[in-house]
Amino acid sequence: MAGIPGLLFLLFFLLCAVGQVSPYSAPWKPTWPAYRLPVVLPQSTLNLAKPDFGAEAKLEVSSSCGPQCHKGTPLPTYEEAKQYLSYETLYANGSRTETQVGIYILSSSGDGAQHRDSGSSGKSRRKRQIYGYDSRFSIFGKDFLLNYPFSTSVKLSTGCTGTLVAEKHVLTAAHCIHDGKTYVKGTQKLRVGFLKPKFKDGGRGANDSTSAMPEKMKFQWIRVKRTHVPKGWIKGNANDIGMDYDYALLELKKPHKRKFMKIGVSPPAKQLPGGRIHFSGYDNDRPGNLVYRFCDVKDETYDLLYQQCDAQPGASGSGVYVRMWKRQQQKWERKIIGIFSGHQWVDMNGSPQDFNVAVRITPLKYAQICYWIKGNYLDCREG
């Protein structure tokens, strides 16, 4: 493994951007690409003062910096990337730490790790984010709601959505628990809700229109043990680089015992099946409903996907996923490739246009989130 400061880091960053992509095995089988993945490891941890938990929960994030604005932003240097990927951890007892990280690449033999560390808005609009005909689908019926992939969607007590990505871990948007300056109210006692629908006739529920319909949503709640938020979100802001790092990982106090969806590195939009993405969330205009949608990706930057999936506040934090062919296992597999963040006004040739935005899971973000989950970089070599 070799160090990657300066120009070498930029070269590696660009290599990750395009990926070491394997060709499709067949035109009708969009295949998960193979990437050369970095390693993100903690270097030092400092204790911080307890936060005041005074921020109001924001169920959406808006930014006026669109695709061209982001594409014109220089790629981060090695030192900047380390700063953005350093992270803050909040524990259930209110204590807080900050962890600095190092960035590594594996040697060809894969048997060691080395590194070189030189130091060691916009327009106002209504809340609706609906484009033309509302193309969202409310998911009814126990056979759907409690089955994969819909069963991976969970509700945060702060009002957002999250996705199960491991036995005890939930991926969501950073702004659901932190406003960039401090933690939102209720984060110290943060809970995650698992859907358990009730039916009017007490039956199991069926899939046809005459089946028993849910009388009300019932959630089984599990307390959160700790949260991780990247410093790129905390030190940034939604109109600059902050939106690129609008993601957070929650660790539950106990396993949830449901099937989860693995995270994966986001392929280029042109390699997505049909150029589409999918996600489900708890939109606040449909209380008591889990809402599913899919749509085409309209544009992309290295860190963001721009799309016009219909969405409302409350859907923030939803895991954006696709289903592609896994060559090694010879099977189809869904993976989370991004996190639904919020809304952006974009100046398109002098004419304002609005998009909904998802944060892409890049190779560096994958390495970071995977390490948060696994605690061992050797388990994070396949994105």
Measured CA to CA, the distance from residue 81 to residue 102 in angstroms comes to: 9
Nearest alpha carbon to residue 74 among 243, 300, 241: 241
Catalytic residue selected from 316, 318, 341, 343: 316
Which candidate in 64, 211, 240, 285 is catalytic?
240
Find the length of the chain: 383
CA distances from 121 to 61, 62, 65, 182, 347 (A): 11, 8, 9, 21, 12
Burial-class residue 368 by CB neighbours within 10 Å (0-12, 13-18, 19+). Answer: buried
Query: What DSSP assignment string belongs to 71-137?
Result: HTSPPPPHHHHHHHH-EEEEETTS-EEEEEEEEEE--TT-S------TT-------S-B--SS---E
Nearest CA to 78 among 118, 125, 137?
A: 118
Cis-peptide into 149, omega within 30 deg: yes
User: Within a 10 A sphere around the Cβ of 72, how many other Cβ atoms?
Assistant: 9
Radius of gyration of the chain (CA): 20
Q: State the SS3 of 247-283.
A: CEEEEECCCCCCCCCCECCCCCHHHCHHHEEEEEECC
Q: Are 162 and 192 in contact (CB under 8 A)?
A: yes
Distance CA 340, CA 325 (A): 23
Residue 229's nearest CA partner among 175, 149, 185, 287 is 175
228 is catalytic: no
**Does 175 participate in catalysis according to the annotation?**
yes
**Would residue 240 show up in a list of annotated catalytic residues for this protein?**
yes
The catalytically annotated residue of 175, 256, 278, 343 is 175
Q: Is 331 exposed, middle or buried (0-12, 13-18, 19+ CB in 10 A)?
A: exposed
Active-site residue set: 175, 240, 316
